[in-house]
Each structure stands twice: as C-alpha cells, then as structure tokens.
Amino acid sequence: MSATYDSKVLSEGIDKFSSCRILVVGDVIMDEFLWGRVERISPEAPVPVVQVEKESLVLGGAGNVVNNIISLGGQALLCGVTGSDAMGRELVHMLQKMNSPTHGLVVENRRPTTIKTRVVAHSQQVVRVDREEREPVTAASIERIITTVEEQIDSIDAIVVSDYGKGVVVQGLMENIRLLTGGRQITLTVDPKVQNVALYKGVTLITPNHQEAELMSGIVINDEESLRRAGTRLLDELGCQMVLLTQGDRGMTLFEGNGRTTQIPTVARKVFDVSGAGDTVTGTFTLALAAGLTPRQAAVLANLAAGIVVGEIGTATVAASRLKEVLLSGRAGRD
C-alpha cells in the first residue's frame, strides 16, 4: 500500500518534537568540506587542480543524527569516542554551541578523531579523503558509554545506534543496550553496517539502504517481489519490529512486523548530494515515533526530510519550520 497522510496530524506531531529526548550512540565523525573551483588540469597527473575558496566543518555520523534531531527541535545526547586532537576538541565545541551535552563523549588518546574530507568544485564532489581508525574502541570506552546509557535510560524516549563501522558498535555495547531497553517503552533504532548485522537482533527498527538490504538479506532486489522478500527476511531473521528500507530516487518502503508494507514515493525535486541523508531519515523517523506518531506517519516525515537534504550540497539538516513548510505544500498524497 502507498502512504497517505493528514497534514494537520503530522504538523501537530512536529510540534511535539521539543518534548522528546533521544540518546544517540555510535561512531562520531567530523565532515570537512573544501569548496573551490577547477580551472586547469594538473601537469603532474591527469587530475583537476582545485583552487580552494572556503572550508567548512559539519558534524557527521552519529553527530549528524544529533544535529538533525536538534535542528528539528528535539533534544539529543551523543555517546561516542573521539581522539585527543584538534578535531576532537572542535567537535565538542560544536556540540556545546548547539546546547547539546558532551559528557557522553569518551576521549581515547591513541585514537584519532574520524575525519571525512570532501573536496567540492562547481557543486561536484571531486574526491573524498578519510582519516580514521576502524579497530574496536577499548573495553574501557565501551564501559563508559554503557554507564552513560544507564544514567540516562529513565529520562529518554528513544535510542539511535548509528553504526559507521568505526569500532564503537560492538557486541558488548549492543547486548547492554538491549538489556537496558528491555521492558521499557523506549524505541531502539539502528542505522546499520552490513558486517555487523548479527548485532541488531531484537531492536525496534533498522534503516538500511537498498544495497545494505541486499547484502544483509542475501536477496538481489530488482522488483517489487524481491523487495518484499528482502524486507520480510530481515524482519524475520533479526526479530525486529520494523524495517525502513531507503531506495534513493524510488523513495522508501516500510515493513512492519504485523505484515503491513507501505511504500513512500520520493518527494525530492532535485538531488545534489546524498551525504548524511540516511542520518536524516533515522533521526526524523525516531523523533516522530517518540512524539507519538505511527510508523507510517513517521516514515512520511522521514521521507519529506530526506527529500529536503538531498537538494543541498554537503551534509545538511532540516529545521522543523522547513519540514512543516514542505509538509503543507502537499508534496505527498493526503488522506
């Protein structure tokens, strides 16, 4: 079935975002952008020479989920690991400017803060350079994160696990989070990494993209039937309540444990950059559930939010006012 929505109900849901508190656990990344123009090819190799005109830093990974939640009016606390370096300190400073608590961050002296540097010229990404450590963080760091989750568990509405495969999301962390959320009315959402699929059993929701869903389910998705089988297999094998499968320009599909499948067509009018769009989907969907909206209503809002950010260059977020504007413009089917 295709999703329809009542704009008044969704608008009221957005108004409730400010009362929702989300704990975000996962891989913290700094997204660095070098913006410039290309006027010649290098004489040293057949590559463009980018004349850098400006630089910018944006929270990425789990930090981008926090940024999206706060931009939408919600409250968010970040738990993750940074290095004892300039980028780690800048990341803390950026969170403080957003009035987001930083006591959930753990500093590892021998580990660099993960940095993704993108060089963009004439609205086109030319190259990306990653500086990172993918080995698991220390057991002591995991213990400190678990302690923070324990301290916050009675004052939060949901937990988002943002897994970028940088060493924070490990078996011990996920086991403890499941134990702490068990029996509580707390949504547990995972933005997954394929190699860690076994860690996500029993969560409320996972949000894989098309390629991730294929690899995690072992099913090549090339039509509606294979899409349905892949989503259903993930529901069954992981024992989760929902799978929100994002499909780029084909929108997204929500699979629920009660057997209901809902297709949400894309609303993006233009696509400049998909950087961070998955973080926007995960953050918006989780925040909407915490605000009392149904899974289908949450999926509609997440789809609208994603349609906004892919129209921007670089890692972008959505303000609640902008989401309302798009919602009321009628870019998706209404009841």
154 is catalytic: no
- In three-state secondary structure terms, 305 is helix
Rounded to an integer, what distance in angstroms lies between the CA atom of residue 130 and that of residue 334?
43
Q: Which of 154, 249, 279, 335 is catalytic?
A: 279
Q: In terms of Cα–Cα distance, which of 246, 247, 306 is closest to 273?
A: 306
Question: What DSSP string describes 142-208?
Answer: HHHHHHHHHHHGGG-SEEEEE--SSSS--HHHHHHHHHHHTTS--EEEEE--GGGGGGGTT-SEE--
- DSSP letter at 333 equals -
Strand order in the sheet with 242-246: 105-108, 75-83, 21-26, 158-162, 187-191, 205-206, 242-246, 252-256, 261-264
b/e sequence 82-102, b meaning 16+ C-beta within 10 Å: bbeeebbebbbebbeebebbe
Q: Which residues contact 201 (CB under 8 A, 6 or more apart)?
A: 238, 239, 240
Dist CA 206 CA 79 (whole Å)? 19
* 3 state SS of 89: helix
Which helix H or strand E contains 83, and what residues bound it?
Answer: strand 75-83
Catalytic residues: 279
